Each structure stands twice: as C-alpha cells, then as structure tokens.
Amino acid sequence: MNINENYFNLEESYLFSTVAKKVNEFIQNNPDKKVIRLGIGDVTLPLCKAVIEAMHNAVDEMSKKETFRGYGPEQGYDFLREKVQAYYKKRNVELELDEIFISDGAKSDLGNILDLFSKDNVVLVPDPVYPVYVDTNVMAGRKVIFANANEENGFLPLPDNNQKADVIYICSPNNPTGAVYNKEQLKKWVDYAISNNAVILFDAAYECFISDENLPKSIFEIEGAKNCAIEFCSLSKTAGFTGTRCGYTVVPKLLGKLNKFWLRRQTTKFNGVPYIIQRGAEAVFTENGQKEIKENINYYKENAKVISETLDRCNIWHVGGKHSPYIWLKCPNNMKSWEFFDLLLEKIQVVGTPGSGFGKNGEGFFRLTSFGSKENTVEAMKRFEEAFKPLNV
Ligand SMILES: *Cc1c(COP(=O)(O)O)cnc(C)c1O
C-alpha cells in the first residue's frame, strides 16, 4: 500500500500544547500566584434545563419497547429539521426540509463536505483562521491560497478579483478574531463566488452571538447566496453542545448536484446523530430553550464587554467581543504574540492565545475569550488595566 503522502504536508500545531506547557511551568515555579485563563476555546456553562429535560424524556423512551428507536434517518429526524427550518424562516430564509442535514457538529461536516469537490479546486482561506479549513484541504492535497485579514480591513478581507478560487471559506462571526461581516460585505463575496463559479463554505458557528438585527446571521440572508453557498451551523457554542455533539448543514438545491451528492455521501458514510441528542437539540429551538440559551450567551457577552471596555480604556486596538465570544487585540508596543503571552503570564498571571498560532497575519495580535467565569474575567481585567493603563505603557 501507499499512504496518503499529503499528511506529510500538514504543519504541526504547537499552539495549545505550548500554551499549556508554559502555564504549567509557571504554576510550578509560582505556586502562590493565581493564574486566570482567558484562552478557553470551549463553553463552560452547563446545558440548559429545556435540553436536559428533553434528553431525560428521550432516554425513557429508549427504555420501552413501544417507543424505542434504532437507526434513524441519516440526515436527521424531521422533528429537528422542521425546527431548523422554522428558525431560518424567522429571518425570512425559506428552506426546504431536504436542504437541511443534521450532523454531529460543524467540524465533521466542514471536513466531510470536501468529498464533493475535485482535488484540482483552488481553496481560498482567510488568514488568520480556524485551522480546520486549511488542514482538511492539505490532507486532500488541494492548493490553498489566503485572503489577508489585517488591521487595515478590520480582519474582514473582501474578494480580490486577481485571486482565482473555486472553494471559499468564510467564518462570521470569526474565530479567532470575533469580526463580523455586514450584508454589503457578504454580498461582495456572493457576487465574487457567482462570477467565478465558486462555492462559499460559510461557517456560522457563532451566529447566536450576533445581537444587531442588521448584521447577517446566515449567508442566505444575502441575495443570490442559495446559488453559491453551503452553510455550517452548530449547537456547540450556541447551546453548549461541544461535548454533546449536534449541528446542521444547509445545502441549497439551487447548487444542483451538490445537494443530492451530499445526501448520498451522508447516507453512505454516516449513520445519523443519536435520537437522544436530537431530542435535546430540538429543545434548543423551543421558546424556553431559546430563552435559556440566550441567558448563557448573554453571560459570555457580558464578559466580552468587560474585556472590550478595559481594552478601550487602555487604548489598545481590538475587534470582536460585541457579537462574538472572542476579542482580538493588537499587542501593545509592537510586541510579538508570544512576547505578549509571556509578559501577561509573568506580570499579571493572565493567559490568552497568541494570534500567530492562527496564521501569519495573526503575528502581533492576541486572542482573549469570554468563556471564563464573570469573577475571573473581572479580576483578570482589573489586573490588565493596572498593568496597561495608558500612563504605564
Ligand atoms: C467551535 C467551532 C465550530 C464548531 O464545531 P463543532 O464540531 O460543531 O463543535 C465550528 N467552526 C468554528 C470556527 C468553531 O470555532
């Protein structure tokens, strides 16, 4: 046999392991100091009550012969797909049921969707970005080119007609930067995709963090998007499902064969999300579920506000935070990302994530997250302000 040599081309990511190593070393040498982690990329609040109740009921159903369920439809139960359909309808996006596919999360689908595309396609990925997009394409041997996100464009790159791409990734609100595209900006990407006969893979994992009605939560709010976009969504950050696993992907029929091929791919290689989990996911879309997840999201957003306001007072350039759990800041005094990481750890015992770990344009930037507790976030930002208030910089 010959192995897939493309795996040799993957770059080793030492980002989170190096962060952990440095933090552990510091704690060992300074056992008396309290380290606060604002680098967490995972939710911390538990599943909401509506979800837990629904899953308990589903467990009971599984215990009785009359209500037991075996294999379900690979693309998800109708009860959940109907809820997703209604959720889109609230934003005036009309979807047919068989355009919605339930999955075990966005990460799997973002990787698996590549089964549908030729190896010869050129892939355009923003830099910096969620590493999954690049790595899944490198594994398949595809050529990856980058769209530069930077301070000048507010980390929201727009299409460059000199760049020719077939598959385009967009993540809005973005991980790691927290930046969000408005409708005019997304329209430019849709127009570019249509005129290049390209497809947009739109990652909407953080849509629930958008609170401004004028900002698009779905690419399908943009005219023409159903002709060129696939959308990936997840309950992970929205409803705390990172360990529970459920998401959904929308493949419009206007994309022609892609809708049929995705169904074929899923029915061949995937056997569906557990019934119990889908009942929990269904509860997210009920009135109570929506109310309860919003409370959790608002908790994170309060933390983001504390971080953002502190950075404002310290005159530190940043994006994100308002419609995202992530705040992306420019390291003060032109420090490099890792230099700033070391300084924060040594001086105020606050841990964040060096921006350089997300791509070359991340150098000199730094990611803080709002997934910590309120107490810790407030304490960390108090220390931050003491250390970086304008007079001291
Ligand atoms: C967390 C995250 C996801 C969600 O992945 P799941 O597999 O659904 O947990 C997707 N995209 C981005 C950019 C993320 O940060």
Q: Where are the domains of the chain?
A: 5-47+290-391, 49-288
**Cβ atoms of residues 331 and 337 within 8 Å:** yes
Residue-wise pLDDT for 132-187, tens only, equals 999 999 999 999 999 999 999 999 999 999 999 999 999 999 999 999 999 999 99
Q: Which residues pair with 244 in a beta bridge?
A: none
Angle between helices 275-284 and 78-89 (to 10 degrees): 20
**Distance in Å, CA 240 to ligand 1 centroid:** 11
Bond into 274 cis (ω within 30): no
**The two three-digit tokens of residue 280, written as one number:** 């929990």
CATH number of 49-288: 3.40.50.620, 3.40.640.10, 1.10.10.10, 3.30.160.60?
3.40.640.10
Q: Pocket of ligand 1, candidates 107, 113, 134: which has the most ligand atoms within 8 Å of its Cβ, to mutate?
A: 107
At 392 the pLDDT is: 52
Split at pLDDT 50, 70, 90, the class of 14 is confident
Strands 365-369 and 318-320: unpaired
**Distance in Å, CA 42 to ligand 1 centroid:** 10
Which residues are CB-neighbours of 347 under 8 A, at least 6 positions away?
387
5-47+290-391: CATH topology is: Aspartate Aminotransferase, domain 1 (3.90.1150)
H helix runs in the chain, sequence order = 15-29, 49-62, 78-89, 106-112, 132-140, 183-195, 236-239, 257-269, 275-284, 287-313, 337-348, 374-388
**Cβ atoms of residues 168 and 189 within 8 Å:** yes
**Distance in Å, CA 1 to ligand 1 centroid:** 34
Average pLDDT over residues 57-80: 98
Split at pLDDT 50, 70, 90, the class of 373 is very high
Q: Which atom of ligand 1 is nearest to the CA of 106?
A: 8
**Cβ atoms of residues 158 and 189 within 8 Å:** yes
**Distance in Å, CA 325 to ligand 1 centroid:** 13
- C-alpha closest to that of 169 among 119, 135, 139, 209: 135
Q: Pocket of ligand 1, candidates 43, 175, 208, 371: which has the most ligand atoms within 8 Å of its Cβ, to mutate?
A: 175
Asked whether the predicted pLDDT for residue 393 surpasses 60, the reply is no
**Distance in Å, CA 187 to ligand 1 centroid:** 24
What is the pTM assigned to this prediction? 0.97
Among protein residues, the one with the nearest Cα to ligand 1's atom 15 is 175
- Ligand 1 is surrounded, with C-beta below 6 A, by 105-107, 130, 171, 175, 203, 205, 234, 236-237, 242, 247
Among protein residues, the one with the nearest Cα to ligand 1's atom 2 is 205
At 40 the pLDDT is: 86
Which residues are CB-neighbours of 392 under 8 A, at least 6 positions away?
none
